[in-house]
């Protein structure tokens, strides 16, 4: 059975209905996500870019290698990394940029875009799921800087986040670095608004999951009878997104039928926020020697540098 179908059936059969957030990103979902990235209320990308622009020298000052592999996990089109890579390329004798992404097409876009700006940068693209393709890095001798940007770590539960950081730590040698973009705990209203934007783009992003199921899995969700609701819990730092049924109804997916009670929820995403203290302790717990945090001027977001 197709993995998407299997995951949807499992998710909608469980006590708390849920759909894994990785399924947001079909062609339409990726387009809507780009819209989200441009929203003022969704402050994350602007903060991350500010740190990349203003703190690159301070980050680089921590990393004194002559040659380096800069490996980006889930690299996407790489556009926001250009000036950062340019600075490393100027400072160090040899830099190899290794973007890894599930999509081979996006890696082609990435390579073109970056070579256009930095024509003599060596680029090796590694398409595929990085948990499977990371073995290809074992042969490389250069010291590493691994990047995981965009606060993607927030989409993991705390246990998954620790598992991920252990996985990254395992790829690294002693003295290598890991730089991760992390959205920080802050005024809870600011976070709540980021996931309940006033233009309803995040609502469309969530509802597209149901449309995708209708398109790809022969579903018959009546989209208009579902609402979107985003919460933020300042105690554990979890922003959770839900869709909820506005009436009692049955939904067919292929030959399976799912019953929804009025106001029953489907959990669609966790976007966890961290404190610097929590990052320090997770870093220690997952095998890193130290970490340092580079923040934007509002102290909303951190680029956290971990050394093995
Ligand atoms: C990709 N990820 C870090 C985003 C987030 O903030 O959790 C996805 C997103 N969901 C709603 N808005 C943005």
pLDDT tens digits along 155-204: 999 999 999 999 999 999 999 999 999 999 999 999 999 999 999 999 99
Best mutation site among 33, 191, 207 for ligand 1 pocket (most ligand atoms within 8 Å of CB): 33
Average pLDDT over residues 59-66: 93
Residue for token pair 């802050």: 186
What CATH number has the domain bearing residue 171? 3.40.50.150
- Check if 196 has its Cβ closer than 6 Å to any atom of ligand 1: no
Share of the chain above pLDDT 90, in %: 96
Looking at the fold, whether 181 and 291 belong to one and the same domain comes out as: yes
Question: What's the longest Cα–Cα distance across the chain?
Answer: 64
Host domain of residue 163: 44-186+274-307
Compute φ and ψ for 150, nearest 5 degrees. 75, 10
80-137 confidence digits (pLDDT tens):
999 999 999 999 999 999 999 999 999 999 999 999 999 999 999 999 998 899 999 9
What pLDDT was estimated at residue 282? 98
Q: Are residues 103 and 161 in the same domain?
A: yes
Is the ipTM value over 0.90, yes or no?
yes
Nearest-atom index, ligand 1, CA of 230: 11
Ligand 1 pocket check for 286: Cβ under 6 Å? no
If asked whether residues 78 and 218 sit together in one domain, one would say no
Share of the chain above pLDDT 70, in %: 100
Q: How many domains does the chain fold into?
A: 2
pLDDT in tens, 255-301: 999 999 999 999 999 999 999 999 999 999 999 999 999 999 999 99
pTM, to two decimals: 0.95
Of the candidates 61, 58, 37, the residue with the CA atom closest to the CA atom of residue 48: 37
Q: What are 233-239's contacts with CB under 8 Å, separation 24+?
A: 234/185, 234/188, 236/272, 237/185, 237/272, 237/273, 237/274, 237/275, 237/278, 238/270, 238/271, 238/272, 238/273, 239/154, 239/191, 239/192, 239/194, 239/195, 239/270, 239/271, 239/272, 239/273
Q: Which two structure tokens, joined as six digits, stand for 128?
A: 């595929």
Q: What is the CA(270)–ligand 1 centre distance, in A?
A: 9
């Amino acid at each position: 059975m197709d993995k998407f179908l299997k995951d949807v059936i499992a998710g909608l059969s469980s006590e708390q209905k849920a759909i894994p957030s990785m399924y947001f990103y079909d062609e339409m979902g990726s387009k809507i996500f780009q819209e989200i990235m441009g929203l003022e209320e969704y402050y994350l990308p602007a903060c991350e870019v500010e740190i990349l622009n203003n703190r690159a020298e301070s980050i680089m000052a921590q990393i004194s290698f002559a040659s380096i592999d800069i490996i980006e996990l889930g690299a996407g089109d790489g556009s926001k990394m250009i000036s950062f890579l340019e600075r490393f390329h100027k400072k160090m004798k040899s830099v190899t940029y290794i973007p890894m992404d599930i999509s081979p097409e996006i890696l082609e876009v990435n390579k073109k875009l970056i070579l256009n700006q930095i024509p003599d940068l060596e680029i090796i693209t590694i398409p595929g799921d990085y948990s499977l393709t990371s073995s290809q890095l074992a042969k490389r001798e250069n010291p590493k800087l691994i990047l995981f940007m965009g606060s993607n770590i927030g989409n993991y539960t705390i246990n998954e986040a620790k598992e991920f950081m252990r996985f990254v730590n395992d790829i690294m040698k002693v003295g290598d670095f890991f730089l991760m973009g992390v959205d920080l705990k802050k005024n809870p209203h600011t976070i709540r608004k980021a996931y309940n934007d006033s233009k309803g783009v995040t609502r469309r992003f969530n509802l597209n999951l149901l449309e995708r199921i209708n398109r790809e899995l022969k579903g018959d969700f009546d989209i208009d009878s579902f609402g979107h609701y985003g919460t933020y819990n300042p105690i554990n730092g979890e922003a959770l997104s839900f869709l909820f049924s506005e009436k009692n109804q049955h939904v067919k997916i292929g030959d399976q039928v799912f019953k929804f009670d009025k106001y029953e929820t489907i959990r669609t995403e966790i976007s966890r926020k961290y404190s610097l203290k929590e990052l320090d302790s997770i870093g220690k717990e997952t095998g890193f020697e130290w970490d340092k945090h580079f923040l934007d001027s509002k102290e909303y977001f951190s680029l956290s540098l971990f050394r093995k």
